[in-house]
Chains A and B, each alone.
Chain A
Amino acid sequence: MLEFLQHLFGEHNILVYIIMTLPPLVFMIVFALAAVLLERKVSAHMQDRLGPMRVGYHGLIQTVADILKLLQKEIITPATADKKLYILAPFVVFIGSFGAYACIPFSSQYIGSAISLGLFFIIAISSLAPVGLMMAGWGSDNKYSLYGAIRSVAQIVSYEIPTVLVILTIVVLIGSINLQDIVKAQSGWFWNWYIFGGPGGWGKVITIPFIGIAFLIYIIASLAETNRTPFDIPEAESELVAGYHTEYSGMMFAFFFLSEYANMFAVSAIAAALFFGGWQSPFGDAIPFLNNPWMQVFWFVFKGLVFIFLQMWLRWTLPRLRVDQLMYVCWKVLTPFAFIDLLIVGLYAVLR
């Protein structure tokens, strides 16, 4: 797509770059609207309710109405807030989650930026989110916000370790940290996806349980990274009102929400790309129609949405963890398992 646009507008035209950034942004906003509605509907039906029903057919445009309401709301800055940090924070968080979309391959023809350090960049730019959360918590001058921010930062920083280790296990198998390369390596039928051991002969079968464990660890750790139940102690509504965004109103609040849902899709997209073949059709090139660039977008978003549903499913199933339990799960369960996993898979990668 980049080549095409460069051909259209010229090599160094700024328009090329602006248009390249637009698809993830548009996708993100539409996705956030749809996901909020989906979340409410899933939660409602899991609790034998109906959820929003009044705006549109079965409340289909409820979130559009919500965002229209939020647009009209006044942005209130508390008198004692640290104004600069307070106003900057939502945008820092948003940049962190939007930046991650730069290296997510939506299709074989589209990736925001085809840098060879894709995964590394995603992990690095996602680490901007804790900074923003800390700014929000500190800037609000509210004890609940501060508590939420501290918890959130502690949680995200500690859960980054198992996440990265698990990503590393797949990277070791492939030998590349460009997500486009990782996805391309899984071409063919669905048994070439890394959850089924990746491409290769029958020898790959021994890696399947380890990659399974890696996948499990990734799902758990990604839940914690996006601050979702059962790891939602940063915004535990029964304890901390709303955590770091307690004081925010109007579109500033919406930005936090938007980046939360964008983050959800980002981690789901990475899970899909690493373990489930990204934009690859499950039938590979056997049915060429299902593997054209537009259908690839469909497959990618579909796989991402499956994980989104999994996250919602878990959210409405599990109660919240205590802070000590959270740290126990991270340091005593996920991290050792991720290390052992990395060792064994690395050994396999060396010996095969």
Chain B
Amino acid sequence: MDPIKKYFHNIWLGIYTILIGMRITFSHLFVRAVTIQYPDERLQLPERERNRLFVNIDDCIGCDQCVRACPVDCIYLETIKAVPGDIVGRTGVTSNGKKKALFVPTFTIDIAKCCYCQLCVFPCPTECIYMTDVFEFTEYERGKLVYEFTDMTPEQVIEKKQKLEQYQKEQEEKKAAAAKAAAEDKAKASAEVKTDPLAGESK
């Protein structure tokens, strides 16, 4: 293009395009805001959102499946076997009627480590670990992000441990007694055989 022509064309183009841009921005002055005032109003989260984990400890049977599923090892679980006759939790059964045989003295989730993969949720047989819609849980200290879910007090834990130990000791004693008795029986039987060799033959 002729340089002089191009010069004037550029000026015209500049003014014209500025006017187009100004028309667009002016029209947007009267468009409803697309943003929301976040802490006051919130968007509905999608149905299958993955946020903070929660454990309904009443339903936990201590099966350890979530721990094994976790790819980042952020769940720590300890269990104590319940002695017969002892009731785990308040009722001894989960909400869907499964019998609970294990106390859960430690159920800790380090949410700072959690990668929100939801892999721990699916294996749970009683559906007691699940994702909630809470996503604002920032803390000033990292330690506060370690969540403890168990409902057992330290005294209870010690008591249950002692109970189990005692029960195990009793069981062992019983076993030992039974073994002893069995051995005695055997010895008696063999002795009887020796003393009365004809008794077997007579039958």
Contact = CB atoms under 8 A, between A and B. Distances in A.
Interface in B14-71: 15, 18, 21-22, 24-26, 28-35, 37
Nearest to B37: A53
A246 to B, nearest CB: 28
Nearest to B11: A333
A48 interface: yes
Given A44-B33, A50-B37, A314-B18, 19 more contacts: A42-B29, A45-B28, A45-B29, A46-B25, A46-B28, A48-B31, A48-B32, A48-B35, A49-B33, A49-B34, A49-B35, A313-B22, A313-B26, A314-B22, A317-B18, A317-B21, A317-B22, A317-B24, A332-B7
Contacts of A332: 7
Given A318-B18, A333-B11, A313 B25 contact: yes
Interface residues of A, number: 17
Contacts of B34: 48-49
A318 B21 contact: yes
A47 B26 contact: no
A240 to B, nearest CB: 24
B26 to A, nearest CB: 7
Query: Which secondary structure dominates where chain B touches chain A?
Result: helix
A332 B7 CA distance: 9
A201 B26 CA distance: 36
Interface string A325-341: 00000001100000000
A45 B21 contact: no
Interface in A29-68: 42, 44-50, 53
Contacts of B21: 317-318
A348 interface: no
Interface of B: 7, 11, 15, 18, 21-22, 24-26, 28-35, 37
Contacts of A298: none
Given A318-B18, A318-B21, A47 B37 contact: no
B94 to A, nearest CB: 46
B21 to A, nearest CB: 4
B29 A46 contact: yes
A294 interface: no
Nearest to A45: B29
B33 A317 contact: no
A265 to B, nearest CB: 21
Given A317-B18, A318-B18, A333-B11, A48 B25 contact: no
B5 to A, nearest CB: 15
Given A318-B18, A318-B21, A50 B26 contact: no
17 contacts: A45-B28, A45-B29, A46-B26, A46-B28, A46-B29, A48-B28, A48-B31, A49-B33, A50-B33, A50-B37, A53-B37, A317-B21, A317-B22, A317-B25, A318-B18, A318-B21, A333-B11
A45 B22 CA distance: 14
A10 B98 CA distance: 100
A316 interface: yes
Interface in A293-341: 313-314, 316-318, 332-333
Nearest to B15: A216
Interface in A196-216: 216
Contacts of A46: 25-26, 28-29
Contacts of B31: 45, 48
A44 B32 CA distance: 11
A72 B105 CA distance: 51
Nearest to A43: B25
B25 A316 contact: yes
Contacts of A47: 28
A47 to B, nearest CB: 7
Nearest to B31: A48
Closest 5 interchain pairs by CB?
A: A317-B21, A317-B25, A50-B33, A46-B25, A48-B34
Contacts of B25: 46, 313, 316-317
Given A314-B22, A318-B18, A50 B28 contact: no
Contacts of B30: 45
A258 B165 CA distance: 78
Q: Which of A42, A48, A216 has the most CB of B within 10 A?
A: A48
Contacts of A216: 15
Nearest to A336: B7
Contacts of B28: 45-48
A220 to B, nearest CB: 10
Contacts of B32: 48
